[in-house]
Chains A and B, each alone.
Chain A
């Protein structure tokens, strides 16, 4: 079966601390993977996508980075969080044409 896992579900981090969010998928090899952010009043914004191991494309300039160390693993990171990094982060993939999203991580930077 094709599944997507994302963790943690919630995270409260102080300004200036590092961040690591992980997304893993099962069921398909060499999938395209995506990180989205949903901020209040701004809708869903594509942050990064990856078409393969080590291949990362960034859609917007920001304080975040992404990595794909394994075929089915996609990581979202920051060295120093800003207040503006708060939001709901969603990982996604499209194994069968349509997109499937993970359950999301609610990040609050304090």
Chain B
């Protein structure tokens, strides 16, 4: 059974810093990996989708990498801003129709 772990569980940094969020998964036979952002009391917003054949994806200040063989992904946030404060969730998709497996998330606070 696939298990997804996110480290750290919480992170608080001053504005302007570059930071890295980590995600690991136990079964490397994934179809894709997706990073989401969740604001308090809200739904999930997709940030980046990486197919299993890809090594990384970029969107603005965000860059996500995937090392499928070692079961790891990182989300890099450059020049962090207070508006980046949220919970970041990593999720992997296996080959079947049975949805995503999520990590418990990293709660990020960017101090002004």
Contact = CB atoms under 8 A, between A and B. Distances in A.
Chain A binding surface, main DSSP class: strand
A97 B50 CA distance: 10
A103 B43 contact: yes
**What interface size band does chain B fall in?**
20 to 34
Contacts, number: 55
Interface in B86-105: 89, 91, 93, 97-105
Contacts of B34: 98-99
A49 interface: yes
B10 to A, nearest CB: 13
Interface residues of A, number: 24
Contacts of A102: 43
Nearest to A96: B49
Interface in A52-104: 57, 59, 90, 92, 94, 97-104
Given A43-B105, A97-B49, A98-B49, A34 B43 contact: no
A103 B32 CA distance: 23
B41 interface: yes
B105 A46 contact: no
Q: Which of A43, A51, A92 has the most CB of B within 10 A?
A: A43
A98 to B, nearest CB: 4
Interface of B: 32, 34, 36, 41-44, 46, 49, 51, 89, 91, 93, 97-105
The 8 closest A-B pairs by CB, nearest first: A98-B49, A43-B104, A44-B102, A101-B44, A103-B43, A104-B43, A46-B99, A34-B99
